[in-house]
Structure 1
Amino acid sequence: MPLEGRPTVFARLWVRKEAYLKGPGTGFGRDIAADDVRGDLPGWCVTDLPAGPGHAAVAAGSARDCTVVRVHRTLPEL
């Protein structure tokens, strides 16, 4: 990964990991290296959401409850 792209990739992966670890309720009490969130996780839906430049957002949930994620803007864009 080129140096200039690393902060964006780090933020996306960190937010994916944080969203996933909240699902089972373990949070960061679990070993942070235990789960690879770069792709699909068995039994889970982890979906990147549009968040605008400089931001990362993710929705995570059990695959049995996986549905289409719709994003509705409630505030005007800046």
Structure 2
Amino acid sequence: MATVTVRYFAGARAAAGRAEEAVPAGRSLDDLVAELAERHGGRLVPVLAVASYLVDGVTCHDREEPLPAGVTIDVLPPFAGG
């Protein structure tokens, strides 16, 4: 199965209860975020709503484009001071 890696940082890591996980590839970032919210619920949902997302280290500007297999998605919540 083709996957993407999701890495959680700071408050996102605490809310997800893990540092990273693999999820199936081929869906958009918006679809992925919805799945993560459903999968983890609770404390992660508000973090996902305000987080920034990097796809292989680059800010994602098209949240509807399918994510190719093998990419890494970084979930970055707002950090102190800004």
What TM-score, normalized to structure 1? 0.33
Larger Rg: 1
What TM-score, normalized to structure 2? 0.32
